[in-house]
A and B are shown apart, each in its own frame.
Chain A
């Protein structure tokens, strides 16, 4: 009896201790990133482009623009594929091919980002003889689609079958039922999933290494090389200039803010905007 009580106490202590250790490490990391990032933020940082090497000042406006454009376009490319694939799997639940599709989505999700980058390079950059933001967006779209597919499928499966049956009883065709009933009911969940996926791809670096390539200038043309926050962080981190390293921290801070914004939007704003029960 007492050994069990002893064990209970010891294990309880160990669990709590590991939790405390872990939380301390997590807090330290997040705090450090926050502090280092905030320290070097200034107005220039958001509005200017990098200065020539070795000179101080400058900012990452080119990277901010790049991240926005590349992420948006990647989401635009990936959403229709992801949603319709998710619709297919939800509608054909139980069929062999649907299972295969789901499996492929899972498999694609597990493909390391560097492999996606290599694919983007050999498939797009070499073919079109140009590094471009568009090839980066396509590469990121490959990462966007699997999560979108899964979210769409899961959310669609939650739609009460009673709703769907009522629609069919009224004579609606399948596509109508799916689009006007299921999707509309699930809209909040799907959009939330889209934003979460966007948050994920906004932070990816490896697919951009060999596709977007980076640029010191603010670029609006998707067919040209473009900078992005994760790329800028990576490049700056390996430089020996303290000024550039500081900018890496600040860029990291901005990137985290962006991701948090997207995740917050996913959780709270969508339900409110669409006025659908969350």
Chain B
């Protein structure tokens, strides 16, 4: 009998300690914000995870980012369950309406969507927009199709079926890729179109950039579109693409930076696919952090909003030094300038944030 009482007492104490500990904030006063949360794009996730890690060491503020795809990020921000969302596709009119309030798009880097494949070939493949569209439309089904061989003289291509891998979730990367296909293929534009989720004519779906990369690496004869760093970190080959000026360009941070050398609108909502530059990689893109312009919603504290603003400012300044180490291009000066203006335009209760 006594033992049982001791045991239940012990368990009760343990439980109370747990609950009390959870109520306490970790070291520091009650007004210091220690954590921010975000969700969204997998496209910049390798960069963000490194950035936030560095930011935590530097300032002690932890940023909890969940990489669930641009669609997920937009939904989380709409439901107001996170401080910021992240997306490689800017909001559609419908999505903005669902948000109910103006949303700012703050770019953080430039990345490249590469075509990675699983094939035993001796050198890197060369592809162009037309052939890509045909592959993803399901019209070109074998690797040794003449259309592909024509672009790769001297490379022996196997008689193997092409397995297309695309995204199964709502993806900004898909939005970038399909915008490119729509720009280079009228057939694609009219039959499938561009967007975060499209009705793919063929292929299998992977979840997130990592899911697609995983599927490509496990399936012989597959081809899919992923962000550059995913291919690099998994040691997977990727194709060079013929750009709008007719040169075959290998995706790299230099070629994606070259793609951003265009005039940028003030709200920075622009697709830079199929850029006209000579050295531009044709499927380059910005990725954005999304925040509400008016930050006083659902009882957010000023401290929380200030912490968010500090994070964004850091990402546009010191944070940019992390980009190139992970093959993301830095934002051009013009973009940073306009982005800072956007960040400063965030308000709390209608007035600027101190």
Do A and B come into direct contact in the complex, CB within 8 Å?
Answer: yes
Contact yes or no, B35 A224, CB < 8 A? yes
B22: which of A125, A214, A216, A220 is its contact (CB, 8 Å)?
Answer: A220
Contact indicator A240/B217 (Cβ below 8 Å): yes
Whether B79 contacts A129 by the Cβ 8 Å rule is yes
Contact for A240 among B35, B62, B210, CB less than 8 A: B210
**127-159 of chain B: CB within 8 A of chain A:** none
- Residues of B close to A72: CB separation below 8 A: 14-15, 18
Measured CA separation A125–B81 after assembly (Å) = 8
| Interface 0/1 of A82-119, CB less than 8 Å to B | 00000000000000000000000000000000000000
**A129 contacts which chain B residues (CB < 8 A)?**
79-81, 298
Contact call B208/A73, Cβ cutoff below 8 A: no
B26 touches A220 (CB 8 A): yes
Q: A53-B46, A220-B22 are in contact. List 12 more A-B contacts (CB 8 A).
A: A53-B50, A54-B46, A55-B50, A130-B81, A133-B22, A216-B65, A220-B24, A224-B64, A239-B210, A240-B230, A273-B4, A273-B7
Within the complex, what minimum Cβ distance (angstroms) separates A68 from chain B?
A: 9
Contacts of B19 in A (CB 8 A): 73, 222
Q: How far is the CB of B55 from chain A (nearest CB, A)?
A: 11
Q: Does A123 contact B (CB under 8 A)?
A: no
Q: What string of 1s and 0s marks CB contacts (under 8 Å) between A42-63 and chain B?
A: 0000000001111100000000
Q: Judging by beta carbons under 8 Å apart, are B26 and A215 in contact?
A: no
Residues of B within 8 A of A179 (CB): none
Top 5 A-B residue pairs of the complex, sorted by shortest distance between their CB atoms = A240-B213, A240-B214, A222-B22, A54-B233, A52-B49
Kindly list chain B residues whose C-beta atoms are within 8 Å of the C-beta of A215: 64
Residue A5 CB within 8 A of the other chain: no
Q: Is B286 an interface residue (CB 8 A)?
A: no
B3 touches A214 (CB 8 A): no
Which B residues are CB-close (under 8 A) to A240? 210-211, 213-214, 216-217, 230, 234
Contact of B214 with A239 in the complex, beta carbons under 8 Å: yes
Q: Is A249 an interface residue (CB 8 A)?
A: no
Give the chain B neighbours of A264 by CB distance below 8 A.
Answer: none
A221 within 8 A of B: yes
A-B contact pairs, 19 of them (CB 8 A): A52-B49, A52-B50, A54-B233, A72-B14, A72-B15, A73-B18, A125-B81, A129-B81, A130-B81, A220-B26, A221-B24, A222-B19, A224-B37, A225-B66, A239-B210, A239-B214, A240-B214, A240-B234, A273-B3
- In this complex, what residue of A is CB-closest to B232? A54
Residue B112 interfacial (CB < 8 Å):
no
Size of interface on B: residues with Cβ below 8 Å to A = 42
A221 touches B214 (CB 8 A): no
**Contact code string B208-236 (vs A, CB < 8 Å = 1, else 0):** 10110110110000000000011001100
Q: How far is the CA of A95 from the CA of B56 in the complex (A)?
A: 60
Chain A contact patch, size range? 35 or more
What residues of B have a CB within 8 angstroms of the CB of A53 in the complex?
45-46, 49-50, 233
* Known A53-B50, A216-B49, A273-B3; contact A241-B233, beta-carbon cutoff 8 A: yes
Q: Does B352 contact A (CB under 8 A)?
A: no
Q: CB of B123 within 8 A of chain A?
A: no
B21, A220: Cβ atoms closer than 8 Å: yes
Residues from chain B with a CB closer than 8 A to the CB of A217 are: 35, 62, 64
A85–B82 Cα distance when bound, in Å, is 37
Closest residue of A by beta carbon distance from B23: A221
Q: A274 in the interface, Cβ–Cβ < 8 Å? A: yes
Is A216's CB under 8 angstroms from B64's CB? yes
Separation of A214 and B82 alpha carbons in the complex (Å): 13
Q: Which of B209-265 contact A (CB under 8 A)?
A: 210-211, 213-214, 216-217, 229-230, 233-234
Contacts of B45 in A (CB 8 A): 53
A131 to B72, CA, bound (A): 14
Closest to B212 in A: A240
Question: Cβ of A213 < 8 Å from any Cβ of B?
Answer: yes
Query: Is B333's beta carbon under 8 Å from chain A?
Result: no
Question: Is A184 in the interface zone, CB < 8 Å from B?
Answer: yes
Q: Closest Cβ of chain A: how far from B309's Cβ, in Å?
A: 20
A69 to B50, CA, bound (A): 27
**Complex Cα gap A184–B1 (Å):** 8
Other-chain contact of A187, B4, B18, B35, B298 (Cβ < 8 Å): B4
A223–B81 CB distance below 8 A: no
- What's the Cα separation between A184 and B26 when bound, in Å? 40
B207, A238: Cβ atoms closer than 8 Å: yes
B234 touches A221 (CB 8 A): no
Q: Does A126 contact B (CB under 8 A)?
A: yes
Give the residues from 170 to 218 in chain B that come closer than 8 angstroms, CB to CB, to chain A. 207-208, 210-211, 213-214, 216-217
